[in-house]
Amino acid sequence: MTRQVSETGDTDLRECPILARNVKLIGELPGNGFKSRQWLIERDSQFIQASELLYKLAEQLTGERTLDEIALP
């Protein structure tokens, strides 16, 4: 993915972001003892514990939707 930068230095928000090849969305962490649900994301064989909001956002990074489309329901 290449980043388009305008003359003012702003990034072009029309690009369609996608997760890096080394990132996998694993899913909900069952029976974790936390008040809120926790989700797992794997990157380079290391696990990242994420909130549901962050995980759901990462699910949208498929390369099919622009940042504006992801931000607006």
Q: Which residue has the higher pLDDT, 3 or 16?
A: 16
At 12 the pLDDT is 58
* DSSP reduced 3-state for 68: helix
At 19 the pLDDT is 94
- Is-contact 39 54, C-beta < 8 A? yes
Q: Would you kindly state where each structural domain of the chain is located, as residue ranges?
A: 23-71
At 5 the pLDDT is 47
| Tens digits of residue pLDDT in 8-62 | 555 555 689 999 999 999 999 888 777 788 999 999 999 999 999 999 999 999 9
Q: Report the C-alpha gap between 32 and 40 in whole angstroms.
A: 11
The residue among 32, 2, 19 whose CA lies nearest residue 64 is 19
**19: DSSP letter:** -
At 48 the pLDDT is 94
The residue among 71, 34, 66, 73 whose CA lies nearest residue 50 is 34
